[in-house]
Amino acid sequence: MALGDFLYRCPFCGAEPLEGKGDKASCSGCARQYERGEEGTRIFVHEGDGRKSGIPARRLAERLDELESASGPSREGRGYLLESAAVARFATGEEPVRFRGALLGYVEKMGPERAGTLGLGARTLKFRERDGTVHQWDLLDLRALQTASSTVQVSSVEGGVVTFSFAGDSPRWWERLLKVHLRKLWREEDRGEIFEFQPRIRAR
Amino acid sequence: MTLWYRVLQPFVRWVVIGLLRPRVEGLEHIPASGPAFLVPNHQSILDPILVQAICPRAVDSMTKSTQFSNGIFRWLLPRLHAFPVRRYRTDAQSVRVVLRRLAEGRIVCVYPEGERSWDGCLQPFRGGTLRVLLRAGVPVVPVGIDGTYDVWPRWGTRPRLGATVHLRFGEPLHFGALQDRRAREAALPEAERSLRRALFELSGEAERAAAEALEGRNPSSEDARVEPY
C-alpha cells in the first residue's frame, strides 16, 4: 500500500492518479506534493511555491468526497467510467477451518491469479483477461462489495467472490467509485437507498 | 488458554510495550471473570496485536477469513484464539463461535467498523456486528485506540515509531440479551449511538475534532470542516 492508495486523486485539483511510491505522492496537475507527516493523521502538503502545511488526513478525505460528488473520474474513455490493469482471483470454493476438532469457520479457496483489465461501465463490471476471456457482472447483480487490505472484493448473486488487485490504481478509488455508481443505479431502478455494502448490499 | 497464547502473549506484550510504549487506561473496566465483548475502533494493523498484548485476560478475536488463507497463519491463528469470519456474506458459523465462546465465559474482540480506517477516523459500524452484541447480552467494553494510525496507517509502507499510542478501555455498556429479532432491530439505532459516542471519546477523535476546529480559525490552514458526532 502507498499514500497514493489513500489519496487516489489530488484533493485540490482532482487530477488522478497521483504519482509516486510509498509515503510520497505528487500531482501532475497542480504540482503539489504529498508526504506522510510525522503523525500519520497529518499529511504534509508541499505547495508549488515552497509552502508546506500539515493537513489532517480526514480533511483531505473530505475534499475527495466533495470532488466525487462534483465530478467523476477524469479518465473516461473507451466507454468505461474507470479502467485499470488488474489481477483477479476467483474463489473456487470454501474450506473449513478446524481446531481441536471444532469447526471455527470457513475460508475462501482462491484460484490462480489472472492478469487483465477491469472496466467499470454504466451497468456492468467487466474483466478481460490477457488471453481475451471476458468475465462480466451486471452491477445490479452484485451482492457485496468491500476492500480488503490492497484488494477490492465483489461477490454476485451467481455466487463466488472475486478479488481484484491493481498495479497502478488505488483499491480505495475503485471501491468508492463502485459505491457511488451502485447507489445511483439502485436509486434509478427504484430499489431504494443503499445503506450497507457488506456482508451484503442492503437498501431501504 | 492455549499453550501458544500463554507462551507468545507475554513476549508480544514485552515487544509492544517496548516499541509502542502505549498509555493504557481503564483496565479495571475489563470484567475480572465471565464473558464480555471488547469492541475497539480500528486504525491500524497493529490494533489486534496491541489489544491482545495489553488485555490481562485471553482475548478471542473475530478475524477476516482471508487471514487464514496463508498456511502458517491458518495454523497459528486458531492457537492465538482467532476464528475466521467471511465478510462478504452473513456468516452464521462465526456468530455461533462467538456465542459459544461467550457461553464458556471468554472475552471476544470484534471490530464494529469491519476494516481499518483509511483516514484514522471512525467509520460506519456494521449492522451485523451490532446485532451480535445485542443478541449476546454480555458486557460490551468499548476500547479506544489512538495513535496506531500515526505509527502505521493502512496506506503506510512501514511502521514509524515515536507517536504516542493510547489504549483506553471504557465503562462497559449493557444492551441486554435481545433474543427477539424485532426487539434487536428496534434497539439497534440506540446501541449504535451509545457505542459510537463511547468510541468517539475514547479514541481521541473528539479531542482531535475540537483541536481542528480551533485550528480552522487560522487562515493559513485549509478549510476546517469539522463534523462532530
Band (pLDDT 50/70/90 cuts) for residue A14 is confident
- Note whether B135 and B179 are within 8 A (CB): yes
Question: Domain ends where: A70, A100, A129?
Answer: A70
Question: Domain ends where: A16, A47, A70?
Answer: A70
What is the pLDDT, as a whole number, of residue A71? 60
Contact call for A22 and B157, based on CB within 8 A:
yes
3-state secondary structure of B37: strand
In a domain, B180, yes or no: yes
Q: At what angle do helices B127-136 and B181-202 cross, to 10 degrees?
A: 110
Q: Give percent of chain A with pLDDT exceeding 70.
A: 93
Residue B46: Cβ within 10 Å count? 22
Residue B229 clears pLDDT 60, i.e. is over it: no
What is the pLDDT, as a whole number, of residue A70? 63
Contact call for B87 and A146, based on CB within 8 A:
yes
Count chain A–chain B contacts defined by CB atoms under 8 A.
Answer: 142
What is the pLDDT, as a whole number, of residue A72? 58
In a domain, A191, yes or no: yes
pLDDT tens digit sequence for B73-122: 999 999 999 999 988 888 899 999 999 999 999 999 999 999 999 988 99
In a domain, B222, yes or no: no
In a domain, A86, yes or no: yes
What is the pLDDT, as a whole number, of residue A183? 92
Same domain, A105 and A189: yes
Task: Cis check for the bond before A96: say yes or no (omega within 30 of 0).
Answer: no
Band (pLDDT 50/70/90 cuts) for residue A75 is low
- Note whether B112 and B122 are within 8 A (CB): no
Q: What is the mean pLDDT of chain A?
A: 87
Band (pLDDT 50/70/90 cuts) for residue B219 is very low
Q: What's the grid cell of residue B222?
A: 485549509
Residue B210 clears pLDDT 60, i.e. is over it: yes
- Residue B58's nearest CA partner among B72, B40, B38 is B38
What is the pLDDT, as a whole number, of residue A20? 83
Contact call for A107 and B74, based on CB within 8 A:
yes
Same domain, A66 and A151: no
Closest partner residue to A105 among B69, B94, B126, by Cβ?
Answer: B94
Give the gap in angstroms from C-alpha B223 to the nearest C-alpha of chain A.
Answer: 8
In a domain, A76, yes or no: no
Please report where in the chains the cell 478501555 appears, as a residue.
B169
In a domain, B51, yes or no: yes
Residue B55: Cβ within 10 Å count? 21
Which region among A73-82, A162-171, A182-191 has the lowest average model confidence (pLDDT)? A73-82
What is the pLDDT, as a whole number, of residue B228? 28
Residues ≥6 apart with Cβ < 8 Å to B178: B134, B135, B137, B184, B187
Band (pLDDT 50/70/90 cuts) for residue B220 is very low
More reliable by pLDDT, B209 or B80? B80
- Residue B188's nearest CA partner among B229, B228, B128 is B128
In a domain, B228, yes or no: no
In a domain, B220, yes or no: no
More reliable by pLDDT, A73 or A90? A90
Burial class (CB in 10 A: 0-12, 13-18, 19+), B119: buried
Q: Which domain holds residue B143?
A: 3-215
Same domain, A135 and A164: yes
Average pLDDT rounded to a whole number, residues A102-130: 93
Q: What's the grid cell of residue A79?
A: 466507454
Contact call for A99 and B121, based on CB within 8 A:
no
What is the DSSP-derived secondary structure letter of residue B156? -
Which region among A124-128, B46-50, B223-227 has the lowest average model confidence (pLDDT)? B223-227
The H-assigned helical ranges of B114-226 are: 127-136, 148-151, 181-202, 205-215
Band (pLDDT 50/70/90 cuts) for residue B199 is very high
Chain B residues whose CB is inside 8 A of the A158 CB are: none
What is the total count of domains within chain B? 1
What is the pLDDT, as a whole number, of residue B7? 94
Question: Domain ends where: A45, A70, A95?
Answer: A70
Same domain, A87 and A131: yes
Closest partner residue to A147 among B78, B115, B163, by Cβ?
Answer: B115
Average pLDDT rounded to a whole number, residues A116-138: 93
Nearest CA in chain B to A160: B88
d(CA A22, CA A9) in angstroms, rounded, equals: 15
- Give Cα B50 distance to the centre of its chain: 10
Contact call for A198 and B126, based on CB within 8 A:
yes
Residues ≥6 apart with Cβ < 8 Å to B103: B35
Average pLDDT rounded to a whole number, residues A142-165: 87
DSSP element (H, E) containing B26: none
Residue A61 clears pLDDT 50, i.e. is over it: yes
Same domain, A141 and A171: yes
In a domain, B191, yes or no: yes
Same domain, A93 and A150: yes
Same domain, A101 and A199: yes
What is the total count of domains within chain A? 2
- SS (HEC) of chain A: CCHHHHCCCCCCCCCCCCECCCCEEECCCCCCEEEECCCCCEEEEECCCCCEEEEEHHHHHHHHHHHHHHCCCCCCECCECEEEEEEEEEEEEEEEEEECCEEEEEEEEECCCEEEEEEECCCEEEEEECCCCEEEEEHHHEEEEEEECCEEEEEECCCCEEEEEECCCCHHHHHHHHHHHHHHHHHHCCCCCEEECCCCCEEC
What is the pLDDT, as a whole number, of residue B216? 63
- Whichever domain contains B82, its CATH number is 3.40.1130
What is the pLDDT, as a whole number, of residue A87? 96
CA angle at A184 for the pair A153 and A81, rounded to the nearest 5°:
65
What is the pLDDT, as a whole number, of residue A73? 56
Average pLDDT rounded to a whole number, residues A142-151: 86
More reliable by pLDDT, B2 or B212? B2
Residue B225 clears pLDDT 70, i.e. is over it: no
pLDDT tens digit sequence for B8-60: 999 999 999 999 999 999 999 999 999 999 999 999 999 999 999 999 999 99
Which region among A63-67, A156-160, B172-176 has the lowest average model confidence (pLDDT)? A156-160
What is the pLDDT, as a whole number, of residue B193? 95
Give the gap in angstroms from C-alpha A78 to the nearest C-alpha of chain B.
Answer: 30
Nearest CA in chain B to A57: B119
What is the pLDDT, as a whole number, of residue A79? 61
In a domain, B224, yes or no: no
Q: Which domain holds residue A149?
A: 82-203
pLDDT tens digit sequence for B130-176: 999 999 999 999 999 999 999 999 988 889 888 899 999 999 999 98
Using only C-alpha atoms, chain A has a radius of gyration, in whole angstroms, of 19
Tell me the sheet residues that pair with B140.
B37, B173
Give the gap in angstroms from C-alpha A175 to the nearest C-alpha of chain B.
Answer: 12
Same domain, A130 and A185: yes
Mutation for testing the B interface, residue in A107, A137, A156, A194 having most B CBs under 10 Å: A107
Chain A residues whose CB is inside 8 A of the B112 CB are: none
Contact call for A59 and B154, based on CB within 8 A:
no
Contact call for A146 and B163, based on CB within 8 A:
no
What is the pLDDT, as a whole number, of residue A41? 74
Residues ≥6 apart with Cβ < 8 Å to B26: B168, B169, B170, B171
Same domain, A131 and A170: yes
Same domain, A62 and A93: no
Residue A138 clears pLDDT 60, i.e. is over it: yes
Backbone conformation region of residue B135, classed left if phi is above 0, alpha if psi is from -120 to 50, else beta: alpha
- Whichever domain contains A178, its CATH number is 2.30.29.30
Nearest CA in chain A to B89: A199
In a domain, B226, yes or no: no
